[in-house]
Structure 1
Amino acid sequence: MSKTSPLKPDRDRNPATGHQPAIRIFERLLRGYKGSAGLRLWNNTLHAPTGESPTFTLVVRDPAVLRRLVFERNPVLLADAYFRGSLDFEGDLYSAISLKTHFESLSLGWRDKLALLRDAWRLPAGADAKLKPATNTIASRIARRFSHRHSIDSDRAAISFHYDVSNEFYRLWLDEERVYSCAYFTSADESLDQAQRNKLEHICRKLRLKPDERLLDIGCGWGALVCWAARHHGVRAHGITLSRQQLEYAQQRIRAEGLQDQVTVELRDYRDLSGEGIYDKVSSVGMFEHVGLANLPAYLATVMRVLRPGGLFLNHGITHDEEGWNKTVATEFINRYVFPDGELDCVSNIQLGMERIGFEILDVEGLRPHYALTLRHWVQRLETNREAALREVDEPTYRVWRLYMAACALEFESGGTGVYQILASRNNRGAWPVPLSRRDLYTERDRRIEEVN
């Protein structure tokens, strides 16, 4: 065992000069990392890999970030430090997010652990950074409010937390129709605006909408689907949402488009829907992720009740690559910062739940690569409009959305997360509610999209 000369504690703990322990911690924690990363410290010391340019540089403004990583090595700590501003990234954000996978698989021997602890003690006690960390972080607000009980009140609060950020904030990075769910690309270079129009039309065609039919959209967002279905398919559409800001925008939109006689929206929980067999068709796009796994039977039973016999139900939602919503780094991050009470399951369990209620499954379409493309578009638009976004939200909120959407893009690309459209029907004495082939979904679709443009 070779001996090393200990550095002087008083010099190591000086924020202006004590950067060597930080560099050693960085090199040990990134040993075996597949990418190329640099390090910039609170005193502007730059440490770069030998012989190559890093794809990103980790900017550490507070020694406490490295100290906490030594003791916990939880990637969520990096996220929290990024939101607070004590950590930043220069270069490719997507490459930086790959640190999550590295830290989750990192295994250290006792010698490395001992060396890390020694250097953690030698880190400066504080940095002379001109940075004011957020005192009322998103994490602290969530911790006091949400518990996955999924009562009507808690669900309303959870939806408000995510969707009532600012209508203008969302406008900056969503498409022209303001659709906050997976788009439908016919090619990788298609614009986001076109791809979202494709998606709206694709859903309407799957539901085989006809003039004067009654459509219910559960979780209608800013009203894109109900307005599209009314304008282009002549239905009478009703949307429900738990977001007051979305409701107000959708109501203004309906008036602006002159659709008051065809489209209505209201602030209502799906559990408060009344009536039986009222609607010919029901859609739910990007909503059932908020329902909670324990509440899925009640949610599906409600849809079954309000849908007429022979009616069609399209459920579009995100799924997980494993059963249940177990505690992981990814689920902890999502529930702490983004979707407080969100829960996902594998697609086979979602289908099984639908069948247990009595739905007949007609079609299942996976859209995983489409969501990865959608998210990359959103991140690019958000970054392009950063200054305008910061006039609507604070810096931590901007950083949450940027990191969340970029991380989700990588999850969809890797296959850890999926998204599916499931088309089902309420049985009507065995009658088949759709054409024998699926040719009708595509024969007229391109022509209709061109007419819309």
Structure 2
Amino acid sequence: MLQKFFIKSFMKQWNFGNYTIKFWDGETVKIGNDKPKFSLILHQPIPFKLLSKDLSLTFAEAYMEGLIDIQGDYDEIARIIYLHSNRKYLKKYQNPNISSKIDQNKESKNIKSHYDLGNDFYKIWLDETKSYSCAYFKNPTDTLYQAQINKIEHTLKKLNLKPGEKLLDIGCGWGWLSIIAAQKYGVQVTGITISEEQYKEAKERVKSHKLENLVEIRLQNYQDLQEKEYFDKIVSVGMFEHVGAKNLSLYCSKSKEVLKPGGIFLLHSIMVMFEGETNAWIDKYIFPGGYLPSLREVISILSEFDYHLLLAESLRFHYAKTLDIWDKNFTQNLDKVRLLYDEKFIRMWSLYLKSCASAFRVGSIDLFQLLISKGANNELPLTKEYIYQ
């Protein structure tokens, strides 16, 4: 019968789950390899006037007419319809050009050009935690050190960590966030970086705090992560800006691959108002190969990977204040910097710190913390009060 042929042909496209179709003549067709979560029961042939290229519309109208009944999990039906409706986008973004992986050597070189300037250099003008990202000032009088501790605690609170959970820290820097996560929340932390200088010091910090049983620091590229749905939570602070425009989808694909279903991801990144080319000077001298996406660009790509936005917070003015303090520290310690670098470098770095602080103040760039979940997570607290308690 033509109606059965039509339905069977289109149901092959609804291949994102496990269910059965029971036709009016007793034939049962099973979709998926696992135990069915629902059944569509067709009591009689669907009239041609109800048949549509959009199978969701066809079944909905048939259900309205009493021609179909549904038994089982409605949530699973909604999930399948959602995935089917977005399959053209999922195909576009979830199959990134794997050839981009050959750029790992270039990416590593770019990171080294900035973060491997030397631990002694960064120690001159960063705080004791050596946090090289936006601080969080609860009070205007907070020291840089206190504000960086505030930032780490504010970030970790958003993740709602539980003892025993597995946390991935992508771009762990010098390791302070990984250490505090293990100390305060009792989670198992894997921190990865491709900066050899950061890797060496982060390993030493973990050892000095006697946390080897809870914290593992790896010299590893995010592209080489092998764990499948292993981590409960992911945090990435100040790393997303370095993956490059061509690898945004690859980054999202890889993070989704290693995160458990319903897992939580805190993405902390600089973003811009409008898409465009990276500042040529910044690209050549400060962050070669970097790319600042727009907020709407990031949200769009995340949604294609079924990442659900839970909370977005702008820390723009916090970053301007952070940069002002970094610039002050740098300027007050030029005698120490001159032991390491020449005047051309000093002027370059001073310009970088000052110009970035200004850019945040005028709003041409922003800093967002995006709290997202892999798929819908219905186990989270109803409100975000836990972040501020």
Q: Deviations over 1:53-93 (max 9, x none)?
A: xxxxxxxxxxxxxxxxxxxxxxxxxxxxxxxxxxxxxxxxx
Q: Alignment partner of 2:388: what SS?
A: helix
Q: Which amino acid aligns with 2:372?
A: A
Matched residue, 1:393? 341
Match of 2:288 among 329, 340, 351: 340
Kindly state the Cα deviation for residue 397 of structure 1 after the two structures are TM-superposed. Answer: 2.2
Kindly state the Cα deviation for residue 149 of structure 1 after the two structures are TM-superposed. Answer: 9.6
Kindly state the Cα deviation for residue 309 of structure 1 after the two structures are TM-superposed. Answer: 1.0
Q: Deviations over 1:308-358 (max 9, x none)?
A: 1111001000011211x326xxx0110011001111111111011111011
CA–CA distance in structure 2, aligned partners of residues 231 and 304 of structure 1 = 26
Matched residue, 1:435? 381
Matched residue, 1:326? 277
Runs (4+) off by over 3 Å: none
Change (3 A) 1:343 1:432: same
Change (3 A) 1:388 1:155: same
CA–CA distance in structure 2, aligned partners of residues 216 and 404 of structure 1 = 30
Match of 2:235 among 262, 283, 307: 283
Is this contact kept in 2: 1:150–1:292, CA < 8 A?
A: no
Matched residue, 1:376? 324
Matched residue, 1:177? 129
CA–CA distance in structure 2, aligned partners of residues 383 and 149 of structure 1 = 39
What is the percent sequence identity of the aligned residues? 40
CA–CA distance in structure 1, aligned partners of residues 336 and 379 of structure 2 = 48
Q: Alignment partner of 1:281: what SS?
A: strand
CA–CA distance in structure 1, aligned partners of residues 270 and 106 of structure 2 = 21
Kindly state the Cα deviation for residue 288 of structure 1 after the two structures are TM-superposed. Answer: 0.7
Matched residue, 1:27? none
Q: Deviations over 1:8-50 (max 9, x none)?
A: xxxxxxxxxxxxxxxxxxxxxxxxxxxxxxxxxxxxxxxxxxx
Q: Which amino acid aligns with 1:241?
A: T
Match of 1:364 among 312, 315, 335: 312
CA–CA distance in structure 2, aligned partners of residues 186 and 307 of structure 1 = 31
Is this contact kept in 1: 2:228–2:257, CA < 8 A?
A: yes
Consecutive unaligned residues in structure 2, runs of 5 or more: 1-99
Is this contact kept in 2: 1:165–1:393, CA < 8 A?
A: no
CA–CA distance in structure 2, aligned partners of residues 368 and 214 of structure 1 = 30
Is this contact kept in 1: 2:101–2:223, CA < 8 A?
A: no
Q: Which amino acid aligns with 2:262?
A: G
Match of 1:268 among 207, 217, 220: 220
- Equivalent residue runs for 1:230-245 within 5 Å: 230-245=182-197
Consecutive unaligned residues in structure 1, runs of 5 or more: 1-147, 444-453
Match of 1:152 among 90, 94, 104: 104
Is this contact kept in 2: 1:321–1:417, CA < 8 A?
A: yes
Matched residue, 1:111? none
Matched residue, 2:161? 209
Task: Between 394-403 and 289-298, report the one with greater CA deviation.
Answer: 394-403
Matched residue, 1:313? 265
Matched residue, 2:31? none
Tell me the TM-score normalised to structure 2 length.
0.73
CA–CA distance in structure 1, aligned partners of residues 216 and 157 of structure 2 = 21
Is this contact kept in 2: 1:166–1:392, CA < 8 A?
A: no
Is this contact kept in 2: 1:150–1:291, CA < 8 A?
A: no
Alignment RMSD: 1.4
Kindly state the Cα deviation for residue 153 of structure 1 after the two structures are TM-superposed. Answer: 0.3
CA–CA distance in structure 2, aligned partners of residues 419 and 181 of structure 1 = 10
Match of 1:419 among 364, 367, 370: 367
Is this contact kept in 1: 2:263–2:377, CA < 8 A?
A: no
Is this contact kept in 2: 1:169–1:393, CA < 8 A?
A: no
Kindly state the Cα deviation for residue 188 of structure 1 after the two structures are TM-superposed. Answer: 2.4
Q: Which amino acid aligns with 1:415?
A: G
CA–CA distance in structure 2, aligned partners of residues 393 and 155 of structure 1 = 24
Matched residue, 2:198? 246
Matched residue, 1:138? none
Is this contact kept in 2: 1:218–1:285, CA < 8 A?
A: yes
Matched residue, 2:355? 407
